[in-house]
Amino acid sequence: MVGTQSGGVAWDSAGPMAKSVEDCAGVMDILLPVRNFRSSLKRSWRGIRIALLNYDEWQWDDETCARVPEYDEQHASWYQLGFVVERYLAIFEKPGLRTLKDLVEWSKPHAALKLPPGKTLLILDNGLKSTAAA
């Protein structure tokens, strides 16, 4: 949704809350009138396939590599950061920043002014360095 930024590709983002799917579609039609969300309510599920990757089955065994769930969660968020930031920056007509790399470079001389107390550029830098598949 224009003007909002989700925490990541796989994380929740802003959307309507209502009593029914029909009410949600109506709200979305108001928020994003060019999309026509109500038309989707008439479609069939026939032919739709849903795939699920069992993350636990694709992990190294414990003898090979110790599991650290906190790292797995953080690593996935680093990987997603570039996409999320670029999608967010794209809504502005002339931000001067288009990529995560642009944001990191701009932030270096401004870190003391723009970052919350106790925070560093490490999170942004990790987003640039990550090659993990989320």
Q: CA 100, CA 89: separation in Å to the nearest integer? A: 9
Q: Over the stretch 87-105, which tens digit does the pLDDT of each residue have?
A: 777 877 777 888 878 877 8
Model pLDDT, residue 73: 67
Structure tokens at 58: 């694709």
Q: Over the stretch 56-88, which tens digit does the pLDDT of each residue have?
A: 677 777 777 777 777 666 666 666 677 777 777
Q: CA 63, CA 73: separation in Å to the nearest integer? A: 21
Q: How many residues does the chain have?
A: 134
Structure tokens at 82: 């570039």
Does 38 have pLDDT greater than 80?
yes
Does 123 have pLDDT greater than 80?
no
Does 15 have pLDDT greater than 80?
no
Q: What angle do CA 125, 118, 70 make, to 5 degrees?
A: 60
